[in-house]
Amino acid sequence: MRFEAYFDDIRRICIYHEYVDLTKANLFKDRELLEVVKEEAGFNRTFVYLKEDIDFSARYSFLYKGERYPVIYRHVTRMEEFDDYFKCDLHILGPHYTKKATTFRIWAPMADEVRLQIENLSLKMNEVDHGIFELKVDKDLDQKAYRYMIERSGEVNYAIDPFAYSSSPNAQYSVVIDEKRYTSKKIKPKNIISRYTDAIIYEASIRDLTSMKGLKVKNKKTFKGLLEHVKYDGQPIGIEYIQDLGISHVQLMPVLDFGRIDEKAPHGYNWGYDPVQYNVVEGTYTTDVYDPYKRISELQELVDYIHKCELYVNLDVVFNHVFEAHSFSLDKILPYYFFRYRNETDLANGTSCGNELRTESYFLREYLTLMCERYIDIFDIDGLRFDLMNFIDIDTLARIKEVTKAKKEYFMLYGEAWEMGEGLAKEKRATASNWYKFKGVAYFDGFFRDEVRGNAFGKEYPGYINGDLGRKEAMVKALCNKGVDPLSHINFLECHDNRTFYDSMKLFHPNEEDVDDRLRIKLSLALVILAQGIPFIHAGQEFARTKKGDENSYTSSDEVNMIDYARRSRYIELTYFLRDMIKIRKWYPCLRLDDLEDVKTMGNVSFYDEILIYDIANLKILINPTLEDRHYYLRGFYLARYDRDHFVNFMLNDTEVPIERLSLAILEKV
């Protein structure tokens, strides 16, 4: 016999049944017998309709042949009426510690019973408000591990606390800590970045920056390792190297607790895009995973150090999916609510990661916003990069923007805005085509990447800089986009995803001489830095980073993913070139326009004899993407500022300017 009943609407119950005579099944609201309307909905499925809206304070069940079968709250939890009934202030949730007592609060709507398991005790919690259970334990519980036992409709789940500040290894238990024991120094960089277009973002992995064999780093692959003043071939590594380049913002790949790696025996590799906890820092990046305070203090120390180096810190967060939906603590606390579904039983999976977070729900929207508040309050971060932002609804982005900007005026928000997904209505998605709906949150410009570099996913087509010189119209838009606010789009050619630029370039030009490879890489860096918008560099891109052709190295080895400082030594002139381009961008405000009307008025891209001519205000940038030397006849007085990889300072007037193959010249009109 099968008898399963689910609330999917405020008046509708879906019953799956086999060998059950539903005429003999009676529905009860607590102890009250209800009159209902039944409707056959197909083989072994029946819909039952209430004559009044559901009462969320009650429990419903069917009585059949003397047995009670609970009606499980399924997709009704995803309705506005559910959110309206169970709304609460999320700031009161979680553990609230003092030396004398700790008060625990958890939001667990529709739970029949919640128990706190701590110190080999199982303590019943009291429901004090709509869905909120509370218990005060009069004892000093500093560093005590705990979890919740939640009973609902006859089933029992064990969940860690999604509001705790730390946890035991591998998220087995949450841990109580004293919030007063950790404080960030909150060091402020002197150079204030008030506009997105003044920022230059550099993406890096905590692990990759110090994982290279032979580096004299004591605490490799950790936050602490980046505090050590280490050099390779006489050049600084890590944060100090990034500072020397002239970067403004370091974007740290995920540092919040992620799956796939055993924190007790951290073998293997993972980028970190497998969220397990949003409220706790990843343990493998700390020097002692068993110390709940070090998860916090060591990331704080790193952020303070980065700020001391006159850099800002952006965190890469994964708010679109989690590692495993049904083992995620929020799903254990309230099933069906936190994820999108494509039908009654199957999770939506537009992310191709197994699930999609339902960011449009009240509680999850407020939860993610609260996490962002914490990242600022605890770690003093300066921005967030949203992985697969297109799965985050626009209203949630607006809420996060409202709260973070109130805490830090110049807080950066940006993410991936790909045209993909199915679980969220198109008009609500943070996609590139909807950019005007979420101004103040920038997006990665896939058009720029694809047209300048070529196909990032294989050898389908080369972009402009890789030899397809017919993409002239595309280059006009790439350099001087007159359809999108420059504050809204990020120009990039390479990130942690897909092949590196160097690896793609070698696919298109397998037999090209090394000297031409170097020139092509220089031009690619120049286009990223000098184009209108926000420039983004992937760590190592500036010295021909290779992943040996690996296009998805998220679980590949350190050998594939490490930052290879020996390669930096080999391609050192490329790093100097990037530094030069950054200096030029900072010198000339016209390369950092923040108003679309100014771009339209000041900017122009044209072509002569395959030379790309980028005019912006009083600058003329000449780019020769061909394998032959070219000449351009210059009319009027110009001051030459950069030529043949060197800063120059000489006057030109009505003369022919030579532009060597795969090179550029920068001139200033006087």
* CATH code for the domain in which residue 649 is found: 2.60.40.1180
Confidence of residue 612 (pLDDT cuts 50, 70, 90): very high
How high is the pLDDT of residue 572? 98
Tell whether 587 and 620 lie within a shared domain.
Answer: no
Confidence of residue 499 (pLDDT cuts 50, 70, 90): very high
Tell whether 251 and 322 lie within a shared domain.
Answer: yes
Query: Is a pLDDT exceeding 90 seen at residue 43?
Result: no
Tell me what the mean pLDDT of segment 18-45 comes to. 90
Read off the pLDDT of residues 334-363 as tens digits, 9 standing for 90 and up: 999 999 999 999 999 999 999 999 999 999
* CATH code for the domain in which residue 302 is found: 3.20.20.80
Domain's final residue, options 592, 615, 635: 592
Is 480 inside any structural domain? yes
Read off the pLDDT of residues 481-495 as tens digits, 9 standing for 90 and up: 999 999 999 999 999
Which candidate, 466, 472, 444, 468, places its Cα nearest to that of 453? Answer: 466
Query: Is a pLDDT exceeding 90 seen at residue 460?
Result: no
* 280 close to 295: Cβ distance less than 8 angstroms: yes
**More confident position, 183 or 16:** 16
Rg (CA), the chain: 29
Query: Is a pLDDT exceeding 80 seen at residue 158?
Result: yes
Measured CA to CA in angstroms, residue 505 lies from 364, 517, 518, 530 at distances of 42, 8, 11, 21
Which candidate, 46, 51, 54, 47, places its Cα nearest to that of 35? Answer: 51
Tell whether 623 and 582 lie within a shared domain.
Answer: no
Which candidate, 174, 354, 362, 150, places its Cα nearest to that of 277? Answer: 174
Tell me what the mean pLDDT of segment 607-614 comes to. 98
CA torsion through residues 11, 5, 352, 398, sign: positive
Is 250 inside any structural domain? yes
Query: Is a pLDDT exceeding 90 seen at residue 442?
Result: yes
CA 391 centroid distance within chain: 11
How high is the pLDDT of residue 245? 98
Q: How many domains does the chain have?
A: 4
Is 178 inside any structural domain? no
Distance, in Å, from the CA atom of 49 to the CA atom of 47, rounded to the nearest integer, reads: 7
Is 171 inside any structural domain? no
Owning domain of residue 386:
196-592
* CATH code for the domain in which residue 61 is found: 2.60.40.2320
Is 302 inside any structural domain? yes
Read off the pLDDT of residues 380-439 as tens digits, 9 standing for 90 and up: 999 999 999 999 999 999 999 999 999 999 999 999 999 998 889 999 999 999 999 999
Tell whether 341 and 466 lie within a shared domain.
Answer: yes
How high is the pLDDT of residue 231? 97
Tell whether 451 and 311 lie within a shared domain.
Answer: yes
Domain's final residue, options 17, 39, 73: 73
Q: Is 426 exposed, middle or buried (0-12, 13-18, 19+ CB in 10 A)?
A: exposed
Is 183 inside any structural domain? no
Tell whether 424 and 525 lie within a shared domain.
Answer: yes
Confidence of residue 8 (pLDDT cuts 50, 70, 90): very high
The pLDDT mean for the chain works out to 96
Tell whether 558 and 649 lie within a shared domain.
Answer: no
Query: Is a pLDDT exceeding 80 seen at residue 42?
Result: no
Question: What are φ and ψ of residue 317, in 5° steps?
Answer: -120, 150
Strand, helix or coil for residue 562 = coil
Read off the pLDDT of residues 562-592 as tens digits, 9 standing for 90 and up: 999 999 999 999 999 999 999 999 999 999 9
Tell whether 654 and 632 lie within a shared domain.
Answer: yes
Least confident interval from 41-50, 265-274, 518-527 = 41-50
Torsion of CA 364, 365, 368, 370, to 10 degrees: -110
How high is the pLDDT of residue 44? 87
* CATH code for the domain in which residue 144 is found: 2.60.40.10
Tell whether 586 and 446 lie within a shared domain.
Answer: yes
Percent share of the chain, pLDDT over 70: 100
Query: Is a pLDDT exceeding 80 seen at residue 458?
Result: no
Domain's final residue, options 558, 592, 626: 592
How high is the pLDDT of residue 186? 84
Is 191 inside any structural domain? no
Measured CA to CA in angstroms, residue 455 lies from 61, 419, 504 at distances of 56, 16, 8
How high is the pLDDT of residue 596? 97
Q: Where are the alpha helices (DSSP H) in 231-320?
A: 238-245, 294-308
Tell whether 272 and 210 lie within a shared domain.
Answer: yes
Is 417 inside any structural domain? yes
Tell whether 391 and 495 lie within a shared domain.
Answer: yes
Distance, in Å, from the CA atom of 572 to the CA atom of 138, rounded to the nearest integer, reads: 61
How high is the pLDDT of residue 182? 86
Query: Is a pLDDT exceeding 90 seen at residue 183?
Result: no
Tell me what the mean pLDDT of segment 540-544 comes to. 98
Q: Is the pTM of this model over 0.75?
A: yes
Tell whether 640 and 660 lie within a shared domain.
Answer: yes
